[in-house]
Structures are given as C-alpha cells and as structure tokens.
Amino acid sequence: METNSLVQARTPTKLKTEANVILDKLGLNMSTYINMALSQLVIQGGIPFSVKVKPYGNDEILQEVQTTLSLEGLDLDCADLKDLQDYQLGVISGDDLRAKYIKEATR
C-alpha cells in the first residue's frame, strides 16, 4: 500500500467555505478534490485548465503583496510600500532592493 504525505496550504476562509459547499454537494471532501487535481496535473503534464496573466496595475500588485504577506502573519510598513512603489516605477532595481534588505537584516 502506498504511503500518504501531508500537504498543507493557506487559503482565504471564504474561498475554503465556498469550495466546501460545492464539494459537499458533489459528495467529495477537500482531500479527495486535491488528490483529483494533483492526479490531473500529473496525467496531463501540466495545469489542467488555462492559466493567464491578468494585467494588474501598481495598486493591485501592492494590494496582492500586502494580502499575501498578511496571510503569513507579516505586514508591510510605509517604508516597505515606498520601496515596492519605487521598484514598480523603476526608481530602484530588484538587485538594489534585495541588497538593501539583506543589509538591513544583517545589522
């Protein structure tokens, strides 16, 4: 018998709730659905649905970064937001920004 591994993922509560309502109607649970999705990924050799890049504006990108970090228990302060805006505007390069943060982290 094949052994199982634990997969953990963070997702917004509302999304999880809405997904569980649909899965319940289908007679499935989240674990079964995730296994189905992963099986299709392997069978098809890629994501089994179209994945497209959505054109975001700077405000949407910053909001997405803030939301993602918030899910991990991290928050951006005003200086972080300014750095991200400068990066988006091309005022500072990714390499320079990375060097700045490494320098601050090693003080």
Domain ranges within the chain, ordered by starting residue: 1-51, 58-105
d(CA 39, CA 47) in angstroms, rounded, equals 10
46-71 confidence digits (pLDDT tens):
988 777 676 677 777 777 777 877 87
Q: What is the mean pLDDT of the chain?
A: 86
Query: Rounded to whole angstroms, how far apart are CA atoms 48 and 45?
Result: 8
Q: Is the pTM of this model over 0.85?
A: no
Contact 85, 60 (CB under 8 A): no
